[in-house]
Amino acid sequence: MKRLARYKYIFLLGTVLGLSACDKGFEELNTNPNASTTPNVNFLFTQSLLKGNLVYDRTYFYTSYLHCGTYIQHFSIAKEIGGSGAGDKYAMNDFYQSFYFRYIYTNAILTLQEIITTLKTPARAADVNKLSAARIWKVLLMQRITDLYGDVPYSEATQGRNSVFLPKYDAQADIYADMLKELDEAIKAFNPDPNASSFKDADLLYKGDVAMWKKFGYSLMLRVAMRATKVTDGKVVAKDWVQKAFAGGVILKGEESAVLHYSNGPQTYNNNPVAFELVGQDYSLNSHGADNIEWGKYSKTWIDFLKNNNDPRLGVVSVVWNNNTPDTSAAIQKGMPNGSDKKTADFVTYSEPNPATVLNNAAPLLLLSNAETNLLLAEAALRGWVSGDKTQYYNDGVTAALKNWSLFGPAGVIAGDKINQYVTAHPLNAAGTFDAQMNQIHTQFWAALFLDEQEAYANWRRTGYPVLVPVNYVGNATGGTIPRRLPYAIAEQGINGAHYREAVNRQGPDLLTTRIWWDK
């Protein structure tokens, strides 16, 4: 019941903050003289960057690792169906699967809306660059949540100050249309004057650099637009928005990528959230691969792909613990089949994340990189939507995906000759069928976005590539098909029942198998 109450009252926050006194003098009597009445938007923006990136509250672990990452077979969990094994076995589990829904509004979206509301006042007109950055960042977070669940609270999600305590669920088509509008308006509103107000050091991505924020905004526009390639209802015309993003200028170079940098200590907020969560919740470095908390390992699908293609990422991302020492030797790497439900006697011999890269607290977090944009442009060029050579975009995307591991430190550096050999050995078959080229592009996308499991899962649902063999575990909830979405929080059925039922009636049953608007 505590979880039910917490979610309900978060939406009341705005109104609680805005209540005025009924009796003369009552407000002064109940006002903390030491509290600020004006939000410090710099502090709030930094917090929204950290909280929005799934830091230290189980959101990466529950959502990206246990579910998205096992659905697309980067990871495998050996526990039986139920609890943490729900994702790997396509089972329903409200606590884990609804966690992102319950978390992101309360810890990031409301904070961003407070920033936006504050900066939209006439008195803050000079802070337009701060406002534009906040609007762009909000789009990224809202896309994440709608891509997981489909129709979600959007237009009314932060309207507690206006006495909207039970927000409606907007249709995903409308959410996508508005996200693109928000990006377009925010990008155009930037003031290029180098002396204009900005978040500066409070901006952990670009330090207030307007040119870089515009590239980030257009790159996010490209991501959002490409998600709608299969929709035909006219709400979003993917081609038009892809061309707008391309003309505006997207991220193409490594130094332009949106990256959050971390260090190893002393506070947890200094640590990479992926490493922090994976070590703390499964891959305890003291277990040396023998007694992982959740019995997690890399998926056989993932390791087989790396080995079969002589992929130089294998030794960068993967180790087998050999006599209590992490061994990157290619010959001994092996993945655990998805659908496993026992911790076998040879459990320690399966591959898992490399402590020197993936589990390094000082590793960076890539939010939107040149690998992603180049591969999306390869598809856009294949469709005839943008100028440029699809083969060059493809090669640049694959190259970037390999080079970007150098950001993880010395253990992530892949020699240039090995990168060239890999790209040469895996050319795009430019004369092949559309589907064959899509398979190549998005199999590389699946590999390039390893660790960004939410985005990789969304792109897999849109494209169907790479072709994955699903698990048909006894008692699964999907009939042996890979889930298409996550269910809403059960709490919503009681707290916001009318709007919940409206969304379900419009979108389809609240099941793992229901396809959302863009997933045709």
Are residues 183 and 274 both part of a single domain? no
Residue 186 lies in a domain: yes
| Longest CA–CA separation in the chain, Å | 79
Are residues 290 and 439 both part of a single domain? yes
Residue 27 lies in a domain: no
Residue 422 lies in a domain: yes
Are residues 206 and 115 both part of a single domain? yes
Are residues 142 and 188 both part of a single domain? yes
Q: What is the mean pLDDT of the chain?
A: 92
* Contact predicate 428/395, CB 8 Å: yes
User: Distance from first CA to last CA of the chain, Å, rounded?
Assistant: 37
- Dump pLDDT digits (tens) for 221-235: 999 999 999 999 999
Residue 133 lies in a domain: yes
The pLDDT-based confidence of 83 (bands split at 50, 70, 90) is confident
Residue 472 lies in a domain: no
Are residues 348 and 460 both part of a single domain? yes
Are residues 421 and 494 both part of a single domain? no
What CATH number is given to the structural domain containing 155?
1.25.40.390
The pLDDT-based confidence of 32 (bands split at 50, 70, 90) is low
Distance CA 495, CA 2 (A): 12
Residue 363 lies in a domain: yes
Please count the structural domains in the chain.
2
Are residues 132 and 226 both part of a single domain? yes
* Contact predicate 483/91, CB 8 Å: no
Q: Is the pLDDT of residue 4 over 50?
A: no
Q: Is the pLDDT of residue 484 over 90?
A: yes
Are residues 230 and 269 both part of a single domain? no
* Contact predicate 231/237, CB 8 Å: no
Q: Is the pLDDT of residue 18 over 60?
A: no
Of residues 58 and 109, more confidence is placed in: 109
pLDDT value at residue 91 = 97
Residue 517 lies in a domain: no
194-202 long-range contacts, CB within 8 A, separation 24+: 196/126, 196/128, 196/129, 197/126, 197/127, 197/128, 197/129, 197/130, 198/129, 198/130, 198/133, 199/41, 199/42, 199/45, 199/46, 199/129, 199/130, 199/133, 200/42, 202/42, 202/43, 202/45, 202/46
pLDDT value at residue 159 = 85
pLDDT value at residue 269 = 78
Are residues 497 and 374 both part of a single domain? no
Are residues 435 and 303 both part of a single domain? yes
**By residue range, what is the domain housing residue 340?**
256-467
pTM: 0.92
Q: Is the pLDDT of residue 6 over 90?
A: no
Rounded mean pLDDT of 23-30? 48
Distance CA 318, CA 306 (A): 10
Q: Is the pLDDT of residue 444 over 90?
A: yes
State how far the alpha carbon of 432 is from the alpha carbons of 58, 374, 385, 386, 440, in Å.
Answer: 43, 19, 18, 19, 10
Are residues 300 and 349 both part of a single domain? yes
- Dump pLDDT digits (tens) for 363-416: 999 999 999 999 999 999 999 999 999 999 999 999 999 999 999 999 999 999
Distance CA 64, CA 26 (A): 47
Structure tokens at 392: 């060059």
Are residues 239 and 266 both part of a single domain? no
Rounded mean pLDDT of 351-356? 98
Residue 59 lies in a domain: no
pLDDT value at residue 279 = 95
